A and B are shown apart, each in its own frame.
Chain A
C-alpha cells in the first residue's frame, strides 16, 4: 500500500552525495562542443566567445578586474535580502495560517498582490528610491518574501486532519499543537518557500543591479555587454549561474542535515 511506496522512495536522500560521473562528462562534452563551434562555424561571429576566451576573461576579471568585489556585493545583498524576506514572509505566513480572521481579511489582497508580476515593482522602487542600494534591497525583499509567506500559510492550513485529531486526542494545548504538530507538518512547505526565495533573491539582486543599482554582478554583465566584451559577459553569466547553483546546493545540503528525520518528506 502507500507505506510500500514510501519505502521505495526512501533511499533517494542517501544517494545525494554520489558523484554522477556520466552527467559531469556530458557537461564537459558540452564545453568541448562550445569550444569547437566557436573556433570553426562560429569563428566569424564577434559576439560569441569561445570557452577558452571565456575562461581567460574570467581569470582576468577575478585577479585584475572587479569581479571579486562585485561577487561579494551581490552575495551579501542577496543573503541579507533573503534573510529579511524569509523572516517577514514567515511571520506573515504564520499570522495568516494560524488566525482564521487574518486569513479571511487578507487572502483576497494577497491573491491580487501576488498576481502583479513582481518585476513591475522594480520600476516603482526605482521611482521612489532612485539608483541606490535601497532600491536593490527593497526589490529583493519584496519579491522573495512571497514564496515563504505562501509556503508557510499554505503549509499550516493544509496540516493533515489526522495529525490534528491526534493532538486533540492527547489533549495538547493550543501552543503545543502549533509547535509540536502544525509547524513541523508545515515545515516541508516552508522549506520549499525558503529555497524558492533564495533563488529569487539572487535573481532579483542581479536584475536590480542591471537597472537600479550600478554595482555587483548584474552591473558587471550589463557593462560588458554595452562595451561589447562577449568573453567577459559570458564569464559573468557563468559566475552568476554558479552563484545561484552553489547557494542552492549549500542550502539543500544544510536542510538535509538539519532535518534528517524528515527523510523522504523534504
Chain B
C-alpha cells in the first residue's frame, strides 16, 4: 500500500487533473485547515457519527432482545423488518428531507434507520440462541424477573450486540457521509461534494484519504472494544470476523 502511494507520487504528473500526487493531497488538506473549514467539518461528522451509533446500539439491542425473546413479536414484525432492512439509505434522504427539512435530526433519523439493522439482527439471533439451561438456572436460583434480565439475559447477548456494532460502525460512518454528500449542509461529506463540484481534485483526494483514516480508527476502536467481551466469552466474538 505504502509502496503504491510512493509510486503514485513519483509517476503522477501535476498536469493531469484527475490523479494528483499524494503530496498535493496533504497540501490541500493543510489549506483547508488554515481556512478554518476542516475542523468544524470533522467535528460535525464525528459527532453525528457518535450520536447515531449510540442511538443505533440502544434501539437495535432493545428491539433485538424483544424480538429474540418473543416468538409472537418476531412473527408479527418479521415481514415488515424484512422489507425495512433492504431499504437503500440513499433513497430515504429525499423523503426525510421533505418531512424533516435539512436538519441534524433528519441526518440522525436516516443514519439510525440504516445502521441499527446489523445490531438488531445479531442481538435477535443472540437472544434466540441463549440456552434454556442458562434460563432454567435463573429460575432454579429464584432470581427475580429484573435480576434475570440484567444478570443472565443482558450478559448473554452482549457479545452479539458487540458483533452487530462491529458491522454497524463502518456503515454508520458511510451513511453519515452519504447524507452529507447528498444534502451538502455540513460535515466532511459536504466539503468533498463542494470541492468535487468545483473540480478541485487534490482536496477531494485529501478528504477521501481523511475519511479513510477515520474509517481505520473506527475499526481499531471497535476491535479494541471487542477484547472486553471476548474475555469472558471467547466463543461468541469469533463468528463474523470478516
Residues on B with beta carbons closer than 8 Å to the beta carbon of A230: 95, 98-99
Residues on A with beta carbons closer than 8 Å to the beta carbon of B218: 115
Residues on B with beta carbons closer than 8 Å to the beta carbon of A47: 98-99
One of A57-65, A164-172, A239-247 at the interface: A239-247
Q: How far is the CA of A237 from the CA of B84 in the complex (A)?
A: 11
Does the CB pair B242–A23 fall under 8 Å? no
Minimum CB–CB distance for B32 against chain A, Å: 15
Does the CB pair A202–B219 fall under 8 Å? no
Given B90, B209, B216, which contacts A206 in the complex, CB threshold below 8 Å? B90
Given B80, B86, B91, which contacts A30 in the complex, CB threshold below 8 Å? B80
Given contacts A23-B78, A117-B170, whether A218 and B181 have CB atoms under 8 Å apart is no
Does the CB pair B90–A210 fall under 8 Å? yes
Q: How far is the CA of A244 from the CA of B175 in the complex (A)?
A: 17
Does the CB pair A218–B91 fall under 8 Å? yes
Minimum CB–CB distance for A140 against chain B, Å: 12
Q: How far is the CA of A221 from the CA of B90 in the complex (A)?
A: 10
One of A82-90, A121-129, A174-182, A253-261 at the interface: A121-129
Does the CB pair B1–A26 fall under 8 Å? no
Q: How far is the CA of A191 from the CA of B158 in the complex (A)?
A: 27
Residue of A nearest to B1 (CB): A109
Given B18, B77, B209, which contacts A128 in the complex, CB threshold below 8 Å? B18
A150 interfacial by beta-carbon distance below 8 Å: yes
Residues on B with beta carbons closer than 8 Å to the beta carbon of A123: 181, 192-193, 195-196, 204, 208
Residues on B with beta carbons closer than 8 Å to the beta carbon of A211: 181-182, 193
B241 interfacial by beta-carbon distance below 8 Å: yes
Minimum CB–CB distance for A76 against chain B, Å: 16
Q: How far is the CA of A128 from the CA of B193 in the complex (A)?
A: 14
8 Å CB contacts to B: which residues of A98-116? 108-109, 112-113, 115-116
Residues on B with beta carbons closer than 8 Å to the beta carbon of A245: 82-83, 86
Residues on B with beta carbons closer than 8 Å to the beta carbon of A248: 86
Does the CB pair A237–B170 fall under 8 Å? no
Does the CB pair A116–B192 fall under 8 Å? no
Does the CB pair A117–B79 fall under 8 Å? no
Given contacts A23-B76, A115-B216, whether A221 and B94 have CB atoms under 8 Å apart is yes
Does the CB pair B97–A225 fall under 8 Å? yes
A22 interfacial by beta-carbon distance below 8 Å: yes
Q: How far is the CA of A20 from the CA of B72 in the complex (A)?
A: 11
A7 interfacial by beta-carbon distance below 8 Å: no
How many residues belonging to A are interface residues under a CB distance threshold of 8 Å? 57
Does the CB pair B196–A126 fall under 8 Å? yes
Chain B: interface size category? 35 or more
Most chain B beta-carbon contacts within 10 A, residue among A121, A150, A241: A241
Does the CB pair A225–B86 fall under 8 Å? no
B211 interfacial by beta-carbon distance below 8 Å: yes
Minimum CB–CB distance for A135 against chain B, Å: 11
Given A117, A150, A240, which contacts B88 in the complex, CB threshold below 8 Å? A240
A27 interfacial by beta-carbon distance below 8 Å: yes
- Chain B positions 65 through 103: 1 when the CB is less than 8 Å from some CB of chain A, otherwise 0: 000000000011111101110111111111101110000
Residues on B with beta carbons closer than 8 Å to the beta carbon of A121: 208
Residue of B nearest to A193 (CB): B242
Does the CB pair B207–A120 fall under 8 Å? yes
Residue of B nearest to A242 (CB): B83
Residues on A with beta carbons closer than 8 Å to the beta carbon of B216: 112, 115
A119 interfacial by beta-carbon distance below 8 Å: yes
8 Å CB contacts to B: which residues of A1-50? 20, 22-24, 26-27, 30, 45, 47-48
Using A128-B18, A154-B241, A206-B91 as known contacts, list a sample of 13 further A-B pairs with CB atoms less than 8 Å apart, ordered by residue number in A: A26-B80, A116-B209, A117-B170, A127-B204, A153-B242, A204-B90, A211-B181, A211-B193, A222-B94, A230-B98, A236-B91, A244-B86, A245-B83
The 3 closest A-B pairs by CB, nearest first: A116-B212, A225-B94, A154-B242
Q: List 22 A-B contacts (CB under 8 A).
A: A20-B78, A26-B79, A26-B80, A27-B80, A45-B99, A112-B1, A112-B212, A116-B208, A116-B212, A117-B170, A117-B173, A117-B211, A119-B175, A119-B178, A120-B207, A124-B208, A154-B242, A210-B93, A234-B95, A241-B84, A241-B86, A244-B87
